[in-house]
Every structure is written in C-alpha cells, then in structure tokens.
Amino acid sequence: MKNIVVTGGGAGIGRAVALQCAARGDSVAILDIDEKAARDAAAAAWAAGAPKSLGVCCDVSSEESVAAAFEAVAELGPLDGAFANAGMDAGGLLHELPFEIWKRVIDTNLTGVYLTCKYALRQMLKDGISGSIVCTSSPAATVAFAAGGAGAYSASKGGISALVRTMAVDYARYGIRVNAVVPGATETRLMWANVAAADMVEMRRRVCEEVPLGRLASPDEPARAVVWLLSDEASYVTGAHLVCDGGILAKASISV
C-alpha cells in the first residue's frame, strides 16, 4: 500500500490513475483546480478501495496553492509517489499568440510540474522515502503537431521532458525515481480543447485514421503505464519516457 498524490486528478488520465491506484489498495490525494471534480474523484477512489482519499482544490501554477495542498496531503502519511499531470492547451501561431496565453500555458504545464515535484521531493526527502514521480509529457515534446499552432504547449512539454531527465539524475542518489509518460491521442477534454464543436466528428475521424492503431486511447490505457511507473515493479526505471501513443512517434509524416 502506497500514498500517492495526483494533480489534474479530477478528470481524464489523472482520474484514471487515481482510481487504478485506489483499486490496488493505495491511498490517494487528488489535486485539481476544480474542487468539485477533485472531491468527486476522491469519493470514487474511496469506493474503488482506497483506505484514505482526499480531494483538494489546487492551482498548480501558484506556489502558495501547491504548498497548501501538500500540507493537506501530509495527513495521508509519508508520500510514496506523485503524478504531476495537471495541464492545459491553448493554441495559436506564435506571432499572433497573446503573451497572456503563452504565460498561462507555461505556468500551468511547466511551472506546475516544477512546483508539484518540488513539494513532493521535499516530503520524500524529509521522510527518507525512496519514492517515484511521474510527469506527463507529450509527443509534442519531440515532434510538431501536424495541425500546427501548438508552440506554447510543445515548449511546455519539451521543458517537462528535460526536467524529468535532470531530476532523475539529481535524485537517484536518494533512491527517488523520476520518469515521464507520453500519452498520444486520448479521449479527454484536453484532446479537444482547440477543436470547435462543429468539427468534432470529422476531427475524430481524421485522428483515428492518422494513429497507427486506428483509434484514440481510453484514459485507462496511459493510466496503466503511469501506475506501473509508480510501482515497485519499475524499481530500476528512472529518467525514462514511457510512450503510450498508439504508434504516433513511430510513424513518418509522408506516405511514400
């Protein structure tokens, strides 16, 4: 049994991770900017088997909010694992992208991961725990999305990937593992954040055609990769990127 904290745990992959951890007997703290979603997910986690579950309102772009959330999380006991997952997307070509949107994406995705890891690491080091941290990266950290206009999102995810490698080396001496999961097209709200409602059916069809496996992932699928990285079964894995993208990064963009 472990104590796990999940940011962005109110929906999507984060919620799926919390529920899978709960089903294996872990206690979970679910942090989300949507307090109701966090509390609802915590209730579902308890019903799924978590000995303890907490739903905490947290804005990961605010150090004050993250610090307060981790104070609340401490009531679970020593922290064994953290899934730094909270994120957002707002698209646009760079020359047209307002600075406020750029800053909001970077503050949420990259600074949010930094703050989550900072406070998780502090707890693990204080308690002498050889824990596991998993951060959510993206294929966008490696390649540009064909649809374009994802400069801020891609920059934030590239930063996460670099940060994961650095933390893995820095904290290996303490027995703390740091890895990234790289989900592809997954059926979540974030997937469709920049798609107009009228275009959804056609866009889903096109995406399914472009993914080698021919479909979007369920949130449960990348969640299983995260839960494995958080577990002792991955005890010799650190600094890695576990790609769960249906073959997107393996595929060339040209047809000949």
Segment 40-58 mean pLDDT: 98
Q: Which CATH superfamily does the domain covering 3-245 fall into?
A: NAD(P)-binding Rossmann-like Domain (3.40.50.720)
Amino acid residing at 227: V
Given this model, what pLDDT does residue 192 score?
Answer: 64
Does the structure show a pLDDT above 80 at 17? yes
The answer to whether residues 171 and 178 touch, using CB atoms and an 8 Å cutoff, is: yes
Structural domain spans, the chain:
3-245
Given this model, what pLDDT does residue 37 score?
Answer: 98
Segment 79-106 mean pLDDT: 95
Spatial separation of the C-alpha atoms in residues 123 and 203, rounded to whole Å: 43
Spatial separation of the C-alpha atoms in residues 108 and 29, rounded to whole Å: 19
| Strand-pair partners of 82 | 5, 133
DSSP three-state, residue 245: coil
Spatial separation of the C-alpha atoms in residues 31 and 4, rounded to whole Å: 11
Segment 221-242 mean pLDDT: 98
Tokens for 166? 């650095």
Confidence of residue 15 (pLDDT cuts 50, 70, 90): very high
Spatial separation of the C-alpha atoms in residues 217 and 159, rounded to whole Å: 24
Spatial separation of the C-alpha atoms in residues 12 and 242, rounded to whole Å: 18
The mean of the pLDDT values for the chain is 94
User: pTM for this one?
Assistant: 0.94
Confidence of residue 204 (pLDDT cuts 50, 70, 90): confident
Spatial separation of the C-alpha atoms in residues 18 and 81, rounded to whole Å: 11
CA atoms within 13 A on the CB side of 232: 7
Helices (H), the chain: 12-23, 35-48, 63-73, 99-106, 112-127, 151-171, 200-210, 220-230
Confidence of residue 193 (pLDDT cuts 50, 70, 90): low
Segment 160-188 mean pLDDT: 96
From 53, 167, 173, 88, select the one nearest 120 (Cα to Cα): 167
Spatial separation of the C-alpha atoms in residues 231 and 196, rounded to whole Å: 39
The answer to whether residues 88 and 101 touch, using CB atoms and an 8 Å cutoff, is: no
- CA distances for 34 relative to 10, 55, 84, 86, angstroms: 7, 10, 16, 11
Q: Which residues are catalytic?
A: 153
Segment 55-60 mean pLDDT: 98
